[in-house]
């Protein structure tokens, strides 16, 4: 993994963060009932996008770089790349501080949601988890990923 930034976050934590972000970005009911409603505990669209790319640098290079660590195979990586590119394109157009409605009203949002759903389902299924379970709160994600 030459060239990968050094980080003390093990790959399974990166995978958990990517999966959490994709899960929230892939669920229109969640987006309406939680993000649009302003419910606490889940962050917002910008938080999800940062979880998706922050530690992995998927905004700078392909998920293919992480096959065998974060991602199980090239198909999983390709689905993640598609989702990342679609979501980032919208974020750059509406701005990171835009309200949730600006994302959801964007003409490309349905395609971004579908791409996130494809990647989320593939990753959740590979991890033997129900892709249709509700997204976990950020507190639960933090508990799951904290160091022992």
pLDDT in tens, 71-118: 999 999 999 999 999 999 999 999 989 999 999 999 999 999 999 999
Rounded Cα distance between 129 and 121, Å, is: 9
Question: Is 52 within a domain?
Answer: yes
Sign of CA pseudo-dihedral 86, 93, 58, 13: negative
Rounded Cα distance between 44 and 84, Å, is: 16
Question: Is 4 within a domain?
Answer: no
Q: What is the pTM of this model?
A: 0.89
Question: Is 24 within a domain?
Answer: yes
How many domains in the chain?
Answer: 1
- pLDDT per residue as tens digits for the range 4-49: 444 444 788 899 999 999 999 999 999 999 999 999 999 999 999 9
Question: Is 86 within a domain?
Answer: yes
Question: Is 3 within a domain?
Answer: no
Domain that residue 46 falls in: 12-145
């Amino acid at each position: 993994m030459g060239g990968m930034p050094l980080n003390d976050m093990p790959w399974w934590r990166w995978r958990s963060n990517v999966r959490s972000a994709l899960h929230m970005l892939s669920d229109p009911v969640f987006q309406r009932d939680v993000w649009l409603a302003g419910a606490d505990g889940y962050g917002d669209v910008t938080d999800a996008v940062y979880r998706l790319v922050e530690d992995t640098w998927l905004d700078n290079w392909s998920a293919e770089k992480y096959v065998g660590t974060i991602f199980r195979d090239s198909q999983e990586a390709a689905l993640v790349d598609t989702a990342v590119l679609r979501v980032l394109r919208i974020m750059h157009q509406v701005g990171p501080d835009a309200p949730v409605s600006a994302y959801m009203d964007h003409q490309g949002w349905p395609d971004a949601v579908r791409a996130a759903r494809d990647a989320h389902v593939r990753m959740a299924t590979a991890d033997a988890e129900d892709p249709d379970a509700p997204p976990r709160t950020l507190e639960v994600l933090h508990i799951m990923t904290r160091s022992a």
